Amino acid sequence: MWDFLHKYSSPKHFYSLAGKLIPWFGWSCLILMLAGLYYGLFVAPPDYQQGESYRIMFVHVPAAWMSMFIYMVMAVAGGIGLVWRIKLAEVIAASSAPIGASFTFLALVTGALWGKPMWGAWWVWDARLTSELILLFLYLGVIALNSAIEDKRTASRASAVLALVGVVNIPIIHYSVIWWNTLHQGSTITKLAAPSIHISMLIPLLLMAVAFKLYYATVVLIRARNEVLDRERHTMWVQELVKN
C-alpha cells in the first residue's frame, strides 16, 4: 500500500495514471449526470409545496455539497504539502481551487434562483448563504495567492495556510441551520434519522451528487496533469515526453 502511494505521489507516475483514469471518470460522469437530470426533471413528481420550482435542487444541493467537499480536499492536500513538502499534494490543492470556486458560485446562483419564488428575494443575509459566500471568497483568496506569487512552492505554502485557516467555515456552513434561526431549510438527507425526502427525489439527487464528484475527479486530474507538466518542464521525463 505504502509502496503504491509512494510510487504514484511522484509527478511522473501520477501523470501516467491520471491519463488512464480521466476517460473512465469522464464517461461515468456523463452517463450519471444524464440519468440524474432525466429522473430529476421528468420522472420525479412535483413537490406538494414548491411545485416544479424545487427541481433546481438537483443542481443546487450537489453543488453546495461539492463546494465544501472540494475545500476539504484542498485544505488537506495543502496541509500535506505544507508539512511533508510533497509536490503532488501542492498540485492537487492548486488545481482544486478554481473548480471549488466554480461549484460554490453555482450553489450561490442556483440558491438565488430557488430563493426568489420561495422567499420573495434573490438574496438574504441568512447564516448559510453568508457563510457560503465567505467560502467563495476563501477560494478566490487561494487562487489569488497562487497567481500572485511567482515561486510555485512559496505560493503553495501561503495558500495552504489560508486554506487551513478557512476550514473553520465548513462546520459553520453545515450546522448554520441548526445553530441559528435561518430561512434556509434544514437537512433532509444528511441527518441521523431516515432521510425525509421521497425515494423518487432521493435517487436522482444522489445520481447528480456522484456525477458531480466524478466531474471534479475528471477536471482536477486534467488540471493537475497540466500543472505537473508546467512545474516539471525542466526535468528529463517531461523533455522526453515532449519529444515523443
Please give the helix or strand (H or E) that residue 76 lies within, else none: helix 57-84
Percent of the chain with pLDDT over 70: 90
Partners of 11 in the β-ladder: none
Cβ neighbours of 125 (radius 10 Å):
8
pLDDT over threshold 70, residue 69: yes
Q: Which residues contact residue 77 at a Cβ distance below 8 angstroms, ignoring those fewer than 6 apart? A: 89, 90, 92, 93, 96
- Predicted confidence band at 57 (pLDDT cuts at 50, 70, 90)? very high
Average pLDDT over residues 195-211: 90
Phi, psi of 65 (to 5 degrees): -60, -45
Q: Which residues contact residue 240 at a Cβ distance below 8 angstroms, ignoring those fewer than 6 apart? A: none
What is the Cα–Cα distance from 61 to 96, expressed in whole angstroms?
Answer: 19
Closest CA to 104 of 161, 65, 143: 65
Q: Is 203 a member of any domain? A: yes
Q: Is 15 a member of any domain? A: no
Cell numbers at 58, concatenated: 438537483
- Predicted confidence band at 8 (pLDDT cuts at 50, 70, 90)? low
Higher pLDDT, 42 or 175: 42
Q: Is 46 a member of any domain? A: no
- Predicted confidence band at 120 (pLDDT cuts at 50, 70, 90)? confident
Q: Residue type for 19, please?
A: G
Average pLDDT over residues 79-91: 95
Q: Is 8 a member of any domain? A: no
pLDDT over threshold 70, residue 118: yes
pLDDT over threshold 50, residue 148: yes
- Predicted confidence band at 136 (pLDDT cuts at 50, 70, 90)? very high
* Residue-level pLDDT at 143: 98
* Residue-level pLDDT at 132: 96
Cell numbers at 227, concatenated: 500543472
* Residue-level pLDDT at 123: 86
**In total, how many domains does the chain have?**
1
Tell me, what DSSP letter sits at residue 210?
A: H
- Supply the Cα-derived Rg of the chain in whole angstroms: 20
Higher pLDDT, 235 or 185: 235
Average pLDDT over residues 13-18: 94
Q: Is 212 a member of any domain? A: yes
Phi, psi of 47 (to 5 degrees): -75, 145
Q: Which domain holds residue 177?
A: 21-41+53-184+195-243
Q: Is 48 a member of any domain? A: no
Average pLDDT over residues 220-238: 94
Burial of 72 (C-beta count, 10 Å sphere; 0-12/13-18/19+): middle
Closest CA to 32 of 218, 194, 199: 218
Q: Residue type for 211, please?
A: A
Q: Is 6 a member of any domain? A: no
Lowest-pLDDT choice from 46-55, 185-194, 217-226, 229-238: 185-194
Q: Is 2 a member of any domain? A: no
* Residue-level pLDDT at 192: 42
pLDDT over threshold 80, residue 134: yes
